[in-house]
Amino acid sequence: MHIVLASASPRRRELMEMLGAPALRIVPAKGEERPPEGVGPEELVKALSAAKAREIAALSEKDDVIIGADTIVWHRGRVYGKPRSREEAIAMLEALSGETHEVYTGVTVIRGEAELCEAERSLVHFRELSRREIEAYVDSGEPMDKAGAYGAQGKAALFVRGIEGDFFNVMGLPLCRLGTMLRKQGVELL
Amino acid sequence: MHIVLASASPRRRELMEMLGAPALRIVPAKGEERPPEGVGPEELVKALSAAKAREIAALSEKDDVIIGADTIVWHRGRVYGKPRSREEAIAMLEALSGETHEVYTGVTVIRGEAELCEAERSLVHFRELSRREIEAYVDSGEPMDKAGAYGAQGKAALFVRGIEGDFFNVMGLPLCRLGTMLRKQGVELL
């Protein structure tokens, strides 16, 4: 039996290693599924995480446990994905400055025929940011591969007054919920 | 000018390095000050952080910036420090299981004559833990050098349903508040 993480995210990999997950394999899904339209953030991340997990489950051994995950930043009714340019990163951070946004991660855990699919929501409170700070942060290179253009586990820690919910959800993998889902699939991490 | 962290905590050191703090020096305070009696958790951690910062400020260059910090877990009117035995670690985790506790960190930043001293509070929600999980966690060795017998940035991530406040405060250093204090003392981290 392997635990197979169907994600290319280095942060998710680090978190699974931090938990000491045994027999961990990383097999990133291509994730070419088109996102469902006209659904809320919870349904969206659940659908995208399930598509990733199913893609890799089809290539895996019968007893493997496959984990798919998808994270979005949600603010004023809009999805904030990874910024496509320096300008877009600056615009995202200006929109988040001084406000509270939501982070949703969908998690799907598949073992054989059993598929569990859930979503976790956290609130993130940003303090007011100056234009100078935003530009210095974007120029550090940290935002470009991250939904919402920030990494709460990096220098953007200086921007986050506080959160409500699971911090690791903001990093991309809600560990407490994932632990419970894995236990239901027969895997104990402790 | 150096930024001098007056703490032996490897977690605080990692957090300062994560922020890319320039010219960082680690000079742990002995912290032999007796804690004040009959005060609440905020006053307690502020006093202990100030004692550490002043101890190291007395040994430092005039232009250095000294950071002292002290973190406690507070639950039902009691301070939870580092466990002194396996049994005490188990008892602490049993007390925290299924409940919400508080984490307070006092931070003191000294530069020359200017001393800033503040405290940050976070709430931590634990899920219900089984005796087996608690023993497995304690036997992992993770709890023994940590206030409250857990590390939120380790395997105890599986225990924490969610928090309210600054996650890094729970790790021992409230980074957003510290960044603002450092700015007031003339140090920009971004």
Instruction: Considering the candidates B63, B64, B70, B145, report the single residue annotated as catalytic.
Output: B70
Instruction: Considering the candidates A63, A70, A145, A166, report the single residue annotated as catalytic.
Output: A70
Cβ–Cβ below 8 Å for B190 and A136: yes
Q: Which pLDDT tens digit goes with each residue over A20-36?
A: 998 999 999 998 878 89
Residues A39-54, mean pLDDT to the nearest whole number: 97
Cβ–Cβ below 8 Å for A157 and B140: no
What pLDDT was estimated at residue B3? Answer: 98
Collapsing DSSP to helix, strand or coil, A83 comes out as coil
Could you tell me which CATH number the domain at B3-184 has?
3.90.950.10
Cβ–Cβ below 8 Å for B133 and A159: no
Give the residue extent of every domain in chain A: 3-184
A70 is catalytic: yes
Cβ–Cβ below 8 Å for B176 and A155: no
Chain A interface includes B31 (CB < 8 A)? no
A69: CB partners within 8 A, 6+ apart: A6, A7, A9, A12, A49, A52, A105, A106, A107, A108, A172, A173
Terminal Cα-to-Cα distance of chain B (whole angstroms): 17
Give percent of chain A with pLDDT exceeding 90. 95
| Residues B77/B102, Cβ–Cβ less than 8 Å | no
Please tell me which of the candidates A137, A162, A175 has its beta carbon nearest to residue B190: A137
pLDDT tops 90 at residue A63? yes
User: What is the C-alpha to C-alpha distance for residues A124 and B12, in angstroms, rounded to an integer?
Assistant: 22
Please tell me which of the candidates A19, A154, A155 has its beta carbon nearest to residue B155: A19
What residues of B are in contact with residue A180 (Cβ under 8 Å)? Answer: 127
Compute how many other C-beta atoms are within 10 angstroms of the C-beta atom of residue A58: 9
Best residue in A17, A140, A190 for a mutation probing chain B (most B CBs within 10 Å): A190
Residue by residue, pLDDT tens for chain B (190 residues) are 999 999 999 999 999 999 999 899 999 999 887 889 999 999 999 999 999 999 999 999 999 999 999 999 999 999 999 999 999 999 999 999 999 999 999 999 999 999 999 999 999 999 999 999 999 999 999 999 999 999 999 999 999 999 999 999 999 999 999 999 999 999 999 9
| Residues A82/A138, Cβ–Cβ less than 8 Å | no
Tokens 């050191």 locate to B13
Q: Which pair of structure tokens corresponds to residue A84?
A: 């496509």
Best residue in A158, A168, A170 for a mutation probing chain B (most B CBs within 10 Å): A158
Q: How many residues does chain A have?
A: 190
The interface predicted TM-score (ipTM) is 0.96
What pLDDT was estimated at residue A10? Answer: 94
Chain A CA closest to residue B180: A158
CA distances in angstroms from A165 to A123, B147, B167, listed in the order given:
7, 21, 10
pTM for the whole structure: 0.96
Chain A interface includes B59 (CB < 8 A)? no
pLDDT tops 90 at residue A84? yes
Q: Which pLDDT tens digit goes with each residue over A95-136?
A: 999 999 999 999 999 999 999 999 999 999 999 999 999 999
Cβ–Cβ below 8 Å for B157 and A19: yes
Q: Hey, CA dihedral for A50, A52, A54, A57, is it positive or negative?
A: negative
Cβ–Cβ below 8 Å for B176 and A166: no
User: What is the C-alpha to C-alpha distance for residues B21 and B140, in angstroms, rounded to an integer?
Assistant: 31
What residues of A are in contact with residue B14 (Cβ under 8 Å)? Answer: none
